[in-house]
Every structure is written in C-alpha cells, then in structure tokens.
Amino acid sequence: MTMLKYTAAALAMLPFTAFAQTAEDEIVVTASGFAQPRSETGQAIDIVDRDRLEQLQSATINEALQTVPGVSIATRGGLGGQSSAFLRGGSSAQTLVLIDGVRINDLTSPNGAFDFGALMTGNIGRVEILRGPNAVIWGSQAIGGVVNVQSIAPVDGFEGRFGAEYGAYDTKRVNANLAGSSGRLEGSVGGSFVSSGGISALAGGTERDGYDNLTGNARLKVHVADNLDLDFRSYYNRATVEYDSAFGVGANALPVSRNRQFVGYVGANFDLLDGRLKNRIAYTRTDIKRVGTDPVVFSFNNFNVRGAIDRAEYHAAFDVNETLTLVAGAEYERSFASTAFEGAAPDIARNHVGSGFGQVILRPVAGLTLTAGVRHDAYDDYGEQTSFGGNVAFTPNEGRTMFRATYGEGFRAPTLTEGQPPYGNPDLKPETARNFDLGVEHQFIEGKAQVFATYFNRRSNDLIAFSSISFQSENIDKVTATGLEAGLSLNPTDHLDIRASYTRVDAINRSAGANFGKRQTLRPQHSMSLTADWQTPFGLSVGSSLLWIGDSFDNAANSLRLNSYALVGLRASMPLTDALEVYSRIDNLLGADYTVVAGYNSFGRNATIGVRAKF
C-alpha cells in the first residue's frame, strides 16, 4: 500500500492532462460512428496503433489493453485460454467488441461476452478503446465501453510486412500482410499462424494444454466515382484450444474446443451536397461456431454450438454548416443460435431488433463542441429500450488543455440463452446503466509532456444473474462503479518515450442480500502500468514494462482473495537494414508467482526472439 499511496500522491500533484496514445489530432470513429477529431468529443478514448504494438512487442491484444487505463484482463490459463476484458469495472458481457466495425460478441455464450483469448496482434493495425457507455451509437452491450479492433488498412503505393518469432513453451508465430493502392483500387490482405505447446490451464496439472490459431484478414475499397466507394472487409479465425475443466477430470483433463469466427462486411460510402452529406450503407455478417470434444462423457465439454448475426445498417452525417453536424442511422439485426450438449438435440433461438438513432454535434464557438443523442431499440421478444447520451469537449488554448464531460446511458439486452426457453426467462428486462465522467487533459513543455485524469461514476440496474430460487436468470443485481483514471507521458527527446497510467475502480455490489457492499469478482481496485522505451544512438532500442495489479476477489462473498502482483518485462530490437529488424523480449522477468483467476495457472519467466521486415 505504501507504493500505491506515493504513486497516487504523485499523480495528484500533476496538472491533469492527456495521454500520449491519444494525441489531439487523432481521428476516432467510436464516438459517433463516423471519423471525427478526438478533440471534438467529450468521451474518453484511447488508441493503440501498429507502431505502439511493435514497440511493446505485444503478441496478444490482451497485453496491449493492459497498458490502457480503466481496462483489466482476466485470462484462465495460458495462451488461448478464455480471456475477459473488464472496462471500468463492468462485466465482460458489458464490453462491446468490433472487428473492422462489425460486432463479434459471442451470442452462443451464456452472457454474450467476447473471448479475447483468440485475438492475436499479427495483422492488427489499430485498436480504439472507448471507455464508458455509448448506447446511442452502438446499442446493446456498450456499457463498460467499446473495443474496436481494426486490421492493417490499405496504404498509398505498396507495403509489405512480415514477422516470425519463437519463444518459451515451444511457441511459434508467423504473420504477413500486403497493402497498397492502384488506380481506383486499394486493399490489404494478410494472415497469421500461432502454435504453442502451452502450460496446464488448471494449477497442479502435468499435462500441457496446447493452442493453435490461424487468422486471415482482407480489405478492399473500390473508388467507383469521386463521391462513391464500395467497401469490402473480412476476418476469419480458426483456433484449437486444449483446456482443463472442473466438469471433466481436473487439471489433467483432455477436452478440446475447435472454434471458428468469421466477419464479413459489404458496404458503400457516398457523399452528396458537395461532400456535406456523408452516407454509409452496409450489410454485415458474424458467424461463430464452436465444437467441443472430451473423452469424459456427460462432462458438458462435448458440445456443438453455432451463432450468426445478420445486420443491415444505414448511417448518415450531415454538415449543415461549420457549427452544426447531424448524425442519424437506422439498423436491423437478426440473430440465431443453436446449442447442443452431449449429443442431445440442439436448442435453437432467434431474435430480431430494429433500431434508430440521432445525434446533434454543435460547435457554437471555437474550441467548444457539444454533442447530444438518442436511440430507440425494439426487440421482438424483450420489448423496447430508449437510451440518451451527451458530452462536452472544450479547449481554451487550441488543444493544449482539454476539458471533457460525458453523460451516457447503456443497456444490455438479454442473450438468447438468458431470455428464451428452454433455459431462459422470457420476462427478463435489459440491464441498464447511467454514467457520467469528468476529465481534464493538458500538454506542456511544448507538447513533450502530457498528463490526464478522469473521474467516472456508473450505476447499473436490473443486472441479469442466476436465481437459486427460480433456477433461471432474473433481473436481481445492482452495481455501482466509481473510479479515477490518471496518467502521463513524457517525450523529452525524439528517442525516449515514457508512459504511465493508474486506475482505481470501486465496483460494488448494491443488490439486497448477504453480498451487499462487496466488490465485484476479478475487478482489482487498483492497477498501474509503466513503460519506458529508448532508442540508442547506434540504433538499438531497449524498453521495459511494469504492470502492477492490486488485490481482487474471485467470489461474490469476497472470501476468496487474489493477492496483488507485479510483472516486469524487458525488450530490445535492432535494425539490421532499413527493412529488417531483429527483436527479443523477456516477460515476467522476475519470475513472479501470481494468480489471475483462482485455480488457474499463469506464465512464469519466458523469453522470445523474433524478426520482422517491412518493405
């Protein structure tokens, strides 16, 4: 606690400001669904781009997200193990995940949460993280926040990337991507493969749980006319996960899950009224399939599940004049899920939802942007839901200081498993949340130093939980989540980059009963990240990371405590030519023995060496 007190005190003395990952000229899309300068939104948004991923040598999206304030990750076991992302203390089901703008949350899972375990960084170009609710634009599940993962985008001319590495636990990674443009065409295509011998997922096991992952990505844009583009995107992931399960024979169990994810996007972008009216029309498809096998019969690890989301949408942004922009959209979504366990006949569920939203962006004076919006969703089985939101962004000095304030509402509609027979409760209502946050950002020393702080307060009602009385899901839980996100970045020279962030989250159960006032499971109250990278005069780059995670609990009664831990990493890279670079890293340098989820193993000290090329 002493280190924590001194860290918090040091951050409190800093002028509140902005994070280096999100410079004011960055363009974001998660705030309004259209590209806009980050300086024009009051919402808290961070960006991790390709350069940052390579600087950190992040092999998984999880590793990169751990450096973002307000985000905590819980992974069950080794590489490929089930991974949950908690944004500002929200549940993993309250984090909406997009890949190239398409929803990919797993509607075959009981609560619709996305499993980050399969998301590698091989051909990822950028990750945009919006912290806090934004149901006006994104609808259901955007309560804790939105994570928008984007594959490597097309570039002018031609660009090729290649990478390969080998590391502990017989882990091999290969990735390649080609991107370019010619005439009216621009595109990007790539693939990656990961294979690992793994560790035992459950503690105490001697049998290793391996992992294989094959990913492909493609994007194509056709410039039909000066004001018309056709847009095609696809993402495919196939993974084989060996894991341990309490429903089998424990730490040396042999269940295997073969998972497939597909995302497809077909759209058109067209401008009218001299470019003032931007239109986007699209059809998207998300297809998920998981097949599980286990030598143990009736372990519920033998399963065959499939889910699909078909979605049609129209979005428009109209610049009425320099001070006023109107954003509107209409969406229709059809979802389907089929689940079968232990060879039984599948349970099939379907749902339809129609949605519409509108948003007003007003710039009454220089440096001030006001945004307000409303959304209405109509589900064919759960009823209707209306959500409001608004935010303010103000800079009195051309972006050197930014003041931000946001009020946002979010909701999560019951999943097909939670709300439909034979196991669901058709009387369920959506989970709802109301959030406000206040933030201040500041740049000083001619932009070489930036700091920020954001306070947030979210109240969630009608949370869905299993009732031991009715033996089905009920709207019985309430949670409050309050906290502080703070950080700084320093770039005293072009060759030195230092970034730090601290998060405090108090996610508290406010439901009547024995667990009233208890902390939510797997939500550390305190966390801190520190990275430092230096490029030496002779080209060698060296860097180090410190991730400190405070105590958490792994049960609702808060009787099962998980102790705090610190992970130290060391990395280096050296260019051999202008196009070729070798690199290496050591993770968990000090060999910390730590637990993220009770009963599950975590990686010890491990090293990796690799090569990457860009031409």
Indicate whether 538 pLDDT > 70. yes
The pLDDT-based confidence of 447 (bands split at 50, 70, 90) is confident
Residue 38 has pLDDT above 80, yes or no: yes
What is the pLDDT, as a whole number, of residue 420?
Answer: 85
For residues 446 and 595, what is the distance between their CA atoms, to the nearest angstrom? 42
* Residue of 614, 604, 498, 600 whose CA lies nearest to 117: 600
Question: Domain map of the chain by residue range?
Answer: 14-455
Asked if 416 and 425 count as a contact pair (C-beta separation under 8 A), the reply is: no
Q: pLDDT tens digit string along 51-76?
A: 999 999 999 999 999 999 999 999 99
pLDDT at 15: 32
Integer Cα distance of 141 and 132 in angstroms: 11
Confirm whether pTM is higher than 0.95: no
Q: How many CB atoms lie within 10 A of CB 176?
A: 17
Q: Over the range 576-606, which residues count as b (16 or more CB within 10 Å of their CB) and which as e?
A: eeeeebebbbbbbbeeeeebbbbbbbbbeeb
Q: What share of the chain is helix, strand, coil (3-state, %, to 5)?
A: 5, 60, 35
> Is residue 548 scored above 90 in pLDDT?
yes
* pLDDT for 559 beyond 80: yes
Does the structure show a pLDDT above 70 at 7?
no
- For a pLDDT cut of 70, what percent of the chain falls above it? 96
Six token digits for residue 172: 């091999």
pLDDT score at 361? 98
Peptide bond into 422 cis (omega under 30): yes
What pLDDT score does 508 carry? Answer: 97
Ramachandran region, residue 428 (left: φ > 0; alpha: ψ -120 to 50; beta: rest): beta
pLDDT digits (tens, 9 = 90+) for 314-354: 999 999 999 999 999 999 999 999 999 988 888 898 999 99
List all residues 6 or more positions away from 221 whose beta carbon is below 8 Å from its beta carbon: 154, 185, 186, 187, 229, 230, 231, 232
- Looking at residue 12, its pLDDT comes to 35
Q: Are 26 and 76 in contact (CB under 8 A)?
A: no
pLDDT at 4: 37
* pLDDT value, residue 25: 67
Structure-token match 């443009």, residue found: 181
Residue range 164-173: mean pLDDT, rounded: 97
- Mean of all residue pLDDT scores within the chain: 92
- Indicate if the pLDDT at residue 471 is higher than 90: no
Is 8's pLDDT higher than 90? no
Side chain identity, residue 405: A
pLDDT of residue 1: 38
* Lowest-confidence pick of 163-167, 397-401, 528-532: 397-401
Q: Residue 105: what residue type? A: N
Is residue 515 scored above 80 in pLDDT?
yes
* DSSP symbol at 117: G
Which CATH number does 14-455 carry? 2.40.170.20
User: What's phi and psi for 99, nearest 5 deg?
Assistant: -120, 115
Residue type, 443: Q
